[in-house]
Chains A and B, each alone.
Chain A
Amino acid sequence: MSAPTTPVGRGAAARFTGQRLPRKEDPRLVTGRGRYVDDVQKVGTVHATFVRSQIARGRILSIDVAEAQASPGVVAVLLAADVNSPDHQFWHNLTGPDMTAPGRVLADGDVRYVGEPIAIVVAENRYLAEDAAELVDVEYEPGKAIVGLRQALETTERVHPGLDSNVSAEMPQMPIPGLQERFDGAAHTFSVRFDQHRYVCVPMETRGIISTWDPWTERLEIVISGQGVHEPRAFYARMLDIPEDRIHVVMGDVGGGFGQKIFPTREHHAVVIASRIIGERPVKWIEDRAENLIAGGHAREESIEIDVAVDEEGTLLAGRVNHLEDVGAWPAGGNGQNGAVGAGIFPGPYRWGGPGSVSYAGKAVFTNTTGQCAYRGPWMMETVGREQMVDVVAAKLGIDPLEFRRRNVIQRSELPFTSPTTLVYDAISPAETLEQAAELIGYEAFRAEQAAARAEGRLIGIGLSLYVEPQFGFGALGTEAATLRIEPTGKVNVYMSTGSHGQSVETTMAQIVADNLGVAIDDVTILQGDTASSPYGAGTGGSRNAAIAGGAAHAAADAMREKVVAIAAHLLEASVDDVELAGSVASVKGAPGTRTVSLAEIAGTAYLNTDALPPGLESGLEVSKRYKAPAFMFSNACHAVTVEVDRETGEVRILRYVVSEDCGPMVNPNVVEGQIAGGVAQGVGGVFYEHMIYDEDGNPTTTTFMDYLVPTAAEIPDLEYGHVVTPSPTPGGYKGMGEGGAIASPPALLNAVRDALAPLGVELTDQALSPDHVLALIERASG
């Protein structure tokens, strides 16, 4: 055993968690050295593009590919006959085998939405592929498109001819004993309805995949812009009946997903199958923006009706909800019914009338439009409905919406609280966030300012939104894992089951590991996105990183620390309890200047000088831990926003935007605030700018960024944050929160506009508040 040469002075434990640490991802990303799927340029790559349906519904009479096949540089033009198979299985681990829409890769005999892929054209480059695709001649016999969920429910025509209705999934209104009596006995009952328009994820990087089939080794190599690698691998193993271990899926850098990239989709399937047919050559498909807007997966087109019973003071006594969702022709996973989650979450942060006081029914409906995909907080209509309902009912009762919420919100003293839908909230703080948000925005002062402004004829308003955000830990989402390896040089590599696409996992997980293991953060590297080395997991999405992946990182680091300390104690001839480990150096407590030993030396011993290890201790430094999360965990927040409406033009200006967030202790406050901000921007976009518009024939009309308006920096205000900390039962106490910004912002904004227009008697029941729409509301109310 050589004499220690490690420098002293790295003694005190560095605390990385909780710090606004600059990210480890950034040096490569700010210098343009990230590697997104289109940056991977393998030798021999051929490029795919799709021929897509130009009509929403109809029969395909003929497809002529002769000219396309003869076009320069074309390698293959494939149709349903080449690609589809009755043996294909289309379900995903995450959502299970219950898929309602009949799966197919390419359109076969008929089309059911504009943009449905009919043919895949593969050529030496994308320019040539598009030239050839134009030469594919498709003859249609158009039918009458089924557009709009109410039309889909009323018509006898079928989006999917083989099914007996246009309902993809239904949760019927269950008769709950005593519920009607609550309504009958209430001082007031109200019925409200809120509609939401279609808007979409718009990750800045579109979908993309490279698939290579090696006919010699019979292995499939996939590089995907996705949200995880194991889901696609399991999917293609099942779909194509390839042994799972012969499929290798990797993710490099991914330019955002927001749910659109959780599952591989029909285009991905076509590319994978094409690569098997072509063999050896990597087949690359990079979706273009028009494709992404038209066919990448849509969301949010929903309607919610709420019957609510309250007493004289505005106490919420009972609720009955009916939630309709337009899931397009092929919802991305399962049956597309977000209401299944909404049903549990709808009561939100309010007490209601106890068990059996809230019922929730819903239908997910097929239409001849692009299928619904997950979009950040997919179930969010429950919050959009509930929080607007609160403001409408409060106004009708003459109670200020802040006061109304105060009367109904669950207090800390009531925890653990069982919601009317039997969810148990144990670590939430809605009341505290409500007060903090109200204070930060200066609620009372604003009301005074509003009174003065109204006297001048100005329209300013304030809106609140209070909600609870679930993270799920059951089924395929039940666990996350981390394999932690200390290399012989003392560097720490952590292989995780996450699939970060902007969530800063390389930094946050390193912060957790560095703290719990006692190593220098620069010596920790987080690796993910490779089925060869990443442990199985659902990937990233659903607000699960901090709590669940964090739990795994924590557990692995703790277990490794035990082992490292045992070796260090042995080398330092001290007791395990007296060994401190910090900054990659082990030392003896309370005995400065005595021997220390570096992590490198410990690792060297563990791998190369194993006779020096404590007797009975397994050699090497590798630990795998899989963390099983509680079935449900909850974070919560309150959004408060003030706006001014220009009564001459209908333009809405956001004055201030405040978020009080409780996601437990924050691993990295920059990351938390960044996630909130991104979600809020998507909410601002959804309410005021973004609208995926279909005409009555099922043609999408907002198919470029000139028509589908994503907000710029000039449209998003400065956000102000407050934080409340209520730890979860996970190690570290972290809670996920990534989706909340997009869930709570629309109702907060809508409530603010509603409040601003209140003196005019405007009833606000829908969104897509373009200035034209707002001005029309004003004119209608005043006229």
Chain B
Amino acid sequence: MTDVEVTLTVNGRARTVRVEPRKTLADTLREDLRLTGTHLGCEHGVCGACTVLLDGEPVRACLMFAVQAAGAVVTTVEGLSPGGDRLSPVQAAFRQCHGLQCGFCTPGFVVSATAFLAENPDPTDAEIREGISGNLCRCTGYQGIVRAVRAAADTMAADTQEASA
């Protein structure tokens, strides 16, 4: 099987890789681009640990092949940080609310929550639970995660108010 050259934008930078068609987007991000923040928890599309943003939408990177992402704009958990030591509002909220323990599922949750809040800036707790039910966590019992998504929503709403004030 011959390798294919694929160019895509990852975290704001154009990147080119040479991969077999069967190499998943997740494996390509992790190995060819050394972005190991995206994790593999199941490789069959259930656990959500591999979630990235593709053209702004959350997708399971283990269920896409890198060749399919040619020309796409991909954001991984690494790309959500504003830069330096700073954390995005969702990242900061996960820390503040003890939304992680072992941290393995966390990048997937942070990306999923970021996408969820972009579509649902003022969710109810029930909507939060349903909105993040596509990601599995085994350590936290989801308590801190739900609180983190709520806190991030509140922070971003306050920032929006401030900005438009």
> CB–CB under 8 A between A and B in the complex?
yes
Interface of A with B (CB < 8 Å)?
A: 20, 22-23, 25-27, 29-36, 38-39, 41, 127, 202-206, 253-256, 258, 286, 288-289, 501-504, 670-671, 673-682, 704-706, 710, 712-714, 716, 718-719, 741
Chain B min CB distance to A661 (Å): 14
| A289 touching B43 in the complex, CB below 8 Å, given contacts A256-B102, A710-B138, A713-B145 | yes
Contact B143 A719 (CB under 8 A): yes
Contact A674 B98 (CB under 8 A): yes
Q: CB-defined interface of B40-78 with A at 8 Å, one 1/0 digit per residue?
A: 111110110100000000000000000000000000111
Contact A204 B41 (CB under 8 A): yes
* A residues near B143, Cβ cutoff 8 Å: 673-674, 677, 716, 718-719
Q: Is B13 an interface residue (CB 8 A)?
A: no
Chain B min CB distance to A162 (Å): 37
Contact A204 B49 (CB under 8 A): yes
| A29 touching B103 in the complex, CB below 8 Å, given contacts A670-B98, A674-B139 | yes
* A residues near B91, Cβ cutoff 8 Å: 30-31
Contact A27 B43 (CB under 8 A): no
Contact A30 B100 (CB under 8 A): yes
From A35, A41, A503, contact of B31 by CB (8 A): A41
Chain B min CB distance to A518 (Å): 26
Contact A705 B101 (CB under 8 A): no
* B residues near A671, Cβ cutoff 8 Å: 98
Q: Is B136 an interface residue (CB 8 A)?
A: yes
How many angstroms between the C-alpha atoms of A206 and B40 in the bound complex? 9
Chain A min CB distance to B105 (Å): 5
Contact A32 B94 (CB under 8 A): no
From A20, A25, A255, A678, contact of B141 by CB (8 A): A678
Q: Is B23 an interface residue (CB 8 A)?
A: yes
* B residues near A258, Cβ cutoff 8 Å: 138
* A residues near B105, Cβ cutoff 8 Å: 204, 255
Chain A min CB distance to B92 (Å): 8
Contact B133 A255 (CB under 8 A): no
* A residues near B134, Cβ cutoff 8 Å: 712
* A residues near B44, Cβ cutoff 8 Å: 289, 704-706
Contact B41 A205 (CB under 8 A): yes
A204-B136, A502-B101, A676-B141 are known; give 16 further A-B pairs, CB within 8 A.
A27-B95, A31-B80, A31-B87, A34-B37, A38-B40, A204-B39, A204-B102, A204-B105, A503-B101, A674-B101, A705-B46, A706-B44, A710-B47, A712-B136, A713-B129, A741-B141
* A residues near B37, Cβ cutoff 8 Å: 31-34
Interface of B with A (CB < 8 Å)?
A: 20, 22-23, 30-31, 34-44, 46-47, 49, 76-78, 80-81, 85, 87, 91-92, 94-96, 98, 100-107, 110, 125, 128-130, 132-146
Q: Which residue of A lies closest to B105 (CB)?
A: A204
Contact B141 A253 (CB under 8 A): no
How many angstroms between the C-alpha atoms of A681 and B100 in the bound complex? 14
Q: Which residue of B lies closest to A36 (CB)?
A: B104
* A residues near B76, Cβ cutoff 8 Å: 32
Contact B20 A27 (CB under 8 A): no
What is the interface of chain B mostly: helix, strand, loop, or mixed? Answer: loop
Contact A32 B35 (CB under 8 A): yes
| A29 touching B20 in the complex, CB below 8 Å, given contacts A204-B136, A289-B42 | no
* A residues near B41, Cβ cutoff 8 Å: 204-206, 289
Chain B min CB distance to A286 (Å): 8
- Sample (28) of A-B pairs whose CB atoms are under 8 Å apart: A22-B98, A23-B95, A27-B85, A27-B87, A29-B100, A30-B94, A32-B76, A34-B104, A36-B39, A204-B39, A204-B104, A204-B136, A204-B137, A253-B102, A255-B102, A256-B104, A502-B103, A671-B98, A676-B141, A677-B143, A677-B144, A681-B140, A706-B46, A713-B132, A713-B142, A714-B129, A716-B141, A718-B146
Contact A32 B77 (CB under 8 A): yes
Q: Which residue of B lies closest to A255 (CB)?
A: B104
* A residues near B139, Cβ cutoff 8 Å: 204, 256, 502, 674, 678
How many angstroms between the C-alpha atoms of A703 and B91 in the bound complex? 33
How many angstroms between the C-alpha atoms of A432 and B64 in the bound complex? 54
From B22, B128, B138, B144, contact of A256 by CB (8 A): B138
How many angstroms between the C-alpha atoms of A203 and B40 in the bound complex? 12
From A26, A41, A713, contact of B133 by CB (8 A): A713
* B residues near A33, Cβ cutoff 8 Å: 37, 78
Chain A min CB distance to B139 (Å): 5
* B residues near A256, Cβ cutoff 8 Å: 101-102, 104, 138-139
From A39, A204, A253, A289, contact of B138 by CB (8 A): A204
From B47, B95, B103, contact of A253 by CB (8 A): B103
Q: Which residue of B lies closest to A39 (CB)?
A: B36
How many angstroms between the C-alpha atoms of A741 and B38 in the bound complex? 29
How many angstroms between the C-alpha atoms of A32 and B111 in the bound complex? 11
| A714 touching B144 in the complex, CB below 8 Å, given contacts A678-B139, A705-B42 | no
How many angstroms between the C-alpha atoms of A710 and B44 in the bound complex? 14
Contact A203 B98 (CB under 8 A): no
Interchain residue pairs A-B with the least CB separation, the first 5: A32-B37, A255-B104, A677-B141, A29-B103, A502-B102
How many angstroms between the C-alpha atoms of A31 and B95 in the bound complex? 11
* B residues near A674, Cβ cutoff 8 Å: 98, 101, 139-141, 143-144
Q: Which residue of B lies closest to A24 (CB)?
A: B95
Chain B min CB distance to A461 (Å): 22
Chain A min CB distance to B125 (Å): 8
Q: Which residue of B lies closest to A33 (CB)?
A: B37
* B residues near A38, Cβ cutoff 8 Å: 30, 36, 39-40
